[in-house]
Structures are given as structure tokens and as C-alpha cells.
């Protein structure tokens, strides 16, 4: 039976909240920790089902990983050459990050691997990683359509390449760099626009030499990763729901604590500020090679804008909730240059447009974006998430400014990135409940 949510309003959003750990950094902490020499101690690890799929996959690859307390994990690294063949296909659930990055790692192993996923992941494009990895000498098969399952045949000699990425993708960049750890010579990746750089920061933090220029990052194969500690900051992509919620709900004054502020992730703050949001960064600091801050958000009147295309990769996961902000703004908001949204956990352009329309918001769907006419409030109604966690949470925020209740279908996958979402939303002042 599907898990639905019912939102009946709420707000203002007040007080303080620490959302769970960053998903991208949590995945990488397990993967790179497994490949390190020595122990890696992780605090603030996100226990969402996506990162737990990565954790379980590395256990199946022979890595001992102790879960010590909430968000506290100890990984007994086996070194770059210590992984062992898994006995069964590795099930990565809903997680594109797990599948794409692990394809890079497993391409360099002496054994074969098979990667599978759920219905959504089984539809997602994988040629973007298999194509450059094959150029490096890897032997990999997908379906005819370039989708999972992925069969990786081990024992191939990899050689470094210079790869110009056709899409701005941190997952592709990371997969190629991770295969580069196993390749002869130098591997370089050039990105068409800056994408999140957690891989580069964590590799450097673990003592691996990288050469970085503006749009190019290179590494040499044959080094090693050192153990140590990683403190994972709160996920800005999860905090984003509450940034929008507090911005659009009169009387709100919310503090989001210890949020990761990596410059390649803060597009959501820049876009909201361009729309007129009142967002203040407090107590800026650095932890485990990542900038962190507390974010104070107060209600403000938002205006529609043309979203600068340069900000798109820096806010790529936040568009579902930014569309909700646009619907609450005065005037029209236009997004273009965001075709990537169509190949996320769902087609986020179409699925969001359908949901917004069901709640009385006018939109125009473009191949690479969306035009949204702001109205300031939503009608009540029912929306479909197509199993997309961020769509589900975005419509909970819409419920704060709706003139009737909103029923949101198929919300179980909120567990993938934000398992405590309902409790956090209720704590912040949103009237939402699971609805069966």
C-alpha cells in the first residue's frame, strides 16, 4: 500500500532545526572509507535508504562497517586493492549516486560485479558513465537503452583519459576520477560548468594528490587513501524545504543549524535571495574540508525571476521546492537550461508541473525548463509524486500556503534522503501527517 501524506496548513515556522547529514558526502564517506588504509570514523552519516544501500553494498564487497550509534559509523578500510567479489548483484535501490560512483570503482577491480536498482533507478541513463569508463578500458554492459542492470567485468587494465563531460554532472566526474585511481597514468575531467566537488575535497582530505584548475581536475592512478575522521554537515538539499517554507509563511523565523555551504551547492540560497528572500548566514566555519554555517530564514515577499542558467547545476536537486517558491511569488519565474531535471528520480519538470496545475498554478512546460505564474497560494487537491522523494517534500511545503488540504501520494521514498522528515516538519510548525 502506498504511503501518502496529508497537509492541512501550519506555520509560522519558528525555532531551530538540524536536518540530517548530507547525502552526497555520506555516500562518499562509505565508498572512500572502504578504499582507505586504516579506519575511517564518520559522524553525522545520513541513515537514509540511499546511503544505507551503499553501506550494505560495501559490506557485500567484504568491508567491515560498524554502525555504532545514530549517524556514527566506523569503516575498516581495506585499501584500494582489498575489495572482494560480492556473491550477489548489488542492489542500490533508488540511488543514482551509488550506482554511478560504484560503477567507476568496480570498473577497476579484478572481479566481476552486477549492479541493480528499483523501478526508478532502472529507468535512469547510465551511458554517461559507462561510455567514458569504456574509453579507459573497462568492460561494462547495460541494457540496449543504456539503463541498469550494469554488468561490470573485472580484470581489465585501465588507462587514464582526458574526458570532456558533455553534461555538467558530479556523478560522472566522480565515476571517472574513481576509475582513475586504478588507471595507469593521468586521468583528467573537464566540466562544462562547475558541479559539486565533494569527491575532490574528500580525496584531498584523505591525502590523495589532485590537480585542480578552474574547470579541470586531474589525478594519477596508483596512490592511496589515508584513514581519519569525517564530520558530515546537514544536507543543504534537505534544509532547502524549510528555507522555502519559512520564506513563504508569514511570521516565520527559523534557524537551520550546521548546514553544508559548499560553494557548488548553494545555488538555492542565491536563487531565493534573487527572489527577495531574507536569508542570513551565521557562524560560518569549516569542518572536514567542507564549509558549514547556520542559516536564519525569515518570511519575505518573493518576486518571480528568470533563474540564471549558471546557477542551475548549483541548485540541481532543489528545483522541486524552488518551483513551490515560484508559485508563491509575485510574477512569473522562468527556468531554462535544466533538461537534467527530466532524468532525476522522476521527470521533475513534468511531475512538478502536473502537481502544481492540480493545485491551481499555471505553468508552461519547456523541454529544458518550466515557466511558473506566481499566484501567492495553492488550492487544495491531490498530487502524484511518482515515487520521487523531493517532489513529495516540496508539496508538503506548498501545504503551508494552501486554501484546502493537500493529499500527496506515494511518499515512502522520502526515506531515501530524509527519514525524519515528518517529525522535523511537525517540529518546525507544519501540519502534516502520514495518511493511509
Among residues 317, 379, 388, 410, which one is catalytic? Answer: 317
Minimum CB separation of residue 41 from ligand S3P in Å reads 21
Helical (H) or strand (E) element with 354: helix 348-358
Lookup: cell for 120: 526508478
Minimum CB separation of residue 432 from ligand S3P in Å reads 23
Instruction: Name which of 327, 68, 28, 338 is nearest 203 in CA terms.
Output: 28
Exactly one of 118, 317, 410, 415 binds ligand S3P (CB under 6 A); that residue is 317
Minimum CB separation of residue 46 from ligand S3P in Å reads 11
Instruction: Say how many Å lie between the first and final Cα of the chain, rounded.
Output: 8
Minimum CB separation of residue 300 from ligand S3P in Å reads 27
Minimum CB separation of residue 262 from ligand S3P in Å reads 11
Backbone angles phi, psi at 227, to 5 degrees: -70, 180
Exactly one of 54, 97, 385, 416 binds ligand S3P (CB under 6 A); that residue is 97
CA torsion angle 365 369 375 378 (round to 10): 80
Q: Taking CB under 6 A as the rule, which mask of x and - marks residues 334-373 in contact with ligand S3P?
A: ------x---------------------------------
Compute the half-sphere exposure of residue 365: CA atoms within 13 Å on the CB side of its CA. 14
Minimum CB separation of residue 280 from ligand S3P in Å reads 26
How far apart CA 24 and CA 429 sit, in angstroms, is: 28
- Which residue, 258 or 389, is less far from ligand S3P as judged by CB? 389
The question of whether 379 is a catalytic residue gets the answer no
Helical (H) or strand (E) element with 298: strand 290-298
- Which residue, 47 or 340, is less far from ligand S3P as judged by CB? 340
CB 393 within 8 A of CB 241: yes
Distance of CA 399 to the CA centre of its chain: 23
Minimum CB separation of residue 195 from ligand S3P in Å reads 6
- β-bridge partners, 226: 37
Residues 373-402 that bind ligand S3P (CB under 6 A): none
Residues 414-433 that bind ligand S3P (CB under 6 A): none
For residue 433, the SS3 value is strand
Q: Does 94 engage in binding with ligand S3P (CB under 6 A)?
A: no
- Which residue, 191 or 294, is less far from ligand S3P as judged by CB? 191
CB neighbour list of residue 48: distance below 8 Å, 6 or more residues apart: 20, 23, 26, 415, 416, 417, 418, 419
Exactly one of 206, 316, 359, 430 binds ligand S3P (CB under 6 A); that residue is 316
Lookup: cell for 32: 572512500
CA–CA distances in Å: residue 293 to residues 195, 198, 257, 313, 338: 20, 17, 7, 21, 28
- Which residue, 31 or 329, is less far from ligand S3P as judged by CB? 31
Minimum CB separation of residue 193 from ligand S3P in Å reads 10
CB 50 within 8 A of CB 290: no
- Which residue, 169 or 346, is less far from ligand S3P as judged by CB? 169
Instruction: Name which of 324, 288, 335, 307 is nearest 400 in CA terms.
Output: 324
Q: Taking CB under 6 A as the rule, which mask of x and - marks residues 159-198 in contact with ligand S3P?
A: ----------xxx--x--------------------xx--
- Which residue, 173 or 258, is less far from ligand S3P as judged by CB? 173
Binding residues with ligand S3P: total (CB under 6 A): 11
Lookup: cell for 5: 501524506
- Which residue, 171 or 424, is less far from ligand S3P as judged by CB? 171
Q: Taking CB under 6 A as the rule, which mask of x and - marks residues 9-38 in contact with ligand S3P?
A: ---------------x--------------
How far apart CA 79 and CA 269 sit, in angstroms, is: 38
- Which residue, 339 or 407, is less far from ligand S3P as judged by CB? 339
How far apart CA 395 and CA 383 sit, in angstroms, is: 8
Catalytic residues: 317
What is the contact surface with ligand S3P in residues (CB under 6 A)? 24, 97, 169-171, 174, 195-196, 316-317, 340
Amino acid at each position: 500500500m502506498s504511503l501518502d501524506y496529508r497537509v492541512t496548513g501550519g506555520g509560522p515556522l519558528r525555532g531551530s532545526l538540524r536536518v540530517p547529514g548530507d547525502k552526497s558526502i555520506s555516500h562518499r564517506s562509505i565508498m572512500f572509507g572502504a578504499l582507505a588504509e586504516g579506519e575511517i570514523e564518520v559522524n553525522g552519516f545520513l541513515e537514509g535508504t540511499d546511503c544505507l544501500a551503499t553501506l550494505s553494498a560495501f559490506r557485500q564487497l567484504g568491508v567491515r562497517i560498524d554502525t555504532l550509534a545514530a549517524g556514527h559509523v566506523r569503516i575498516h578500510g581495506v585499501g584500494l586493492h582489498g575489495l572482494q567479489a560480492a556473491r550477489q548483484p548489488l542492489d542500490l535501490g533508488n540511488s543514482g549516486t551509488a550506482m554511478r560512483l560504484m560503477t567507476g570503482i568496480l570498473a577497476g577491480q579484478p572481479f566481476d560485479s552486477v549492479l541493480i536498482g528499483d523501478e526508478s533507478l532502472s529507468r535512469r541513463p547510465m551511458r554517461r558513465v559507462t561510455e567514458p569508463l569504456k574509453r579507459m578500458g573497462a568492460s561494462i554492459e547495460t541494457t540496449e537503452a543504456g539503463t541498469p542492470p550494469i554488468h561490470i567485468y573485472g580484470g581489465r587494465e585501465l588507462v587514464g583519459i582526458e574526458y570532456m563531460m558533455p553534461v555538467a554532472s558530479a556523478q560522472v566526474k566522480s565515476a571517472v576520477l574513481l576509475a582513475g585511481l586504478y588507471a595507469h597514468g593521468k586521468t583528467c575531467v573537464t566540466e562544462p560548468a562547475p558541479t559539486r566537488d565533494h569527491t575532490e575535497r574528500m580525496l584531498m582530505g584523505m591525502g590523495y594528490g589532485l590537480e585542480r584548475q578552474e574547470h579541470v581536475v586531474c589525478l594519477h592512478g596508483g596512490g592511496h587513501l589515508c584513514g581519519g575522521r569525517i564530520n558530515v554537515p546537514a544536507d543543504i538539499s534537505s534544509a532547502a524545504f524549510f528555507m522555502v517554507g519559512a520564506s513563504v509563511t508569514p511570521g516565520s523565523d527559523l534557524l537551520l543549524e550546521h548546514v553544508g555551504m559548499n560553494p557548488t551547492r548553494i545555488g538555492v540560497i542565491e536563487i531565493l535571495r534573487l527572489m527577495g528572500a531574507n536569508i542570513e548566514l551565521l557562524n560560518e566555519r569549516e569542518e572536514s574540508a567542507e564549509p558549514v554555517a547556520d542559516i536564519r530564514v525569515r518570511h519575505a515577499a518573493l518576486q518571480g525571476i528568470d533563474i540564471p542558467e549558471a546557477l542551475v547545476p548549483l541548485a540541481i536537486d532543489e528545483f522541486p521546492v524552488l518551483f513551490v517558491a515560484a508559485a508563491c511569488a509575485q510574477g512569473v519565474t522562468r527556468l531554462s537550461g535544466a533538461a537534467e531535471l527530466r532524468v532525476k528520480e522522476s521527470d521533475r519538470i513534468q511531475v512538478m508541473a502536473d502537481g502544481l496545475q492540480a493545485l491551481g498554478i499555471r505553468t508552461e512546460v519547456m523541454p529544458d525548463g518550466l515557466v511558473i505564474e506566481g499566484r501567492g497560494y495553492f488550492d487544495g487537491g491531490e498530487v502524484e509524486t511518482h515515487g520521487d522523494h523531493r517532489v513529495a517534500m516540496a508539496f508538503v511545503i506548498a501545504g503551508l500556503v494552501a486554501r484546502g488540504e493537500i493529499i500527496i501520494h506515494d511518499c515512502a521514498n522520502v526515506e531515501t534522503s530524509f527519514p525524519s522528515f515528518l517529525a522535523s516538519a511537525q517540529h518546525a510548525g507544519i501540519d502534516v501527517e502520514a495518511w493511509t
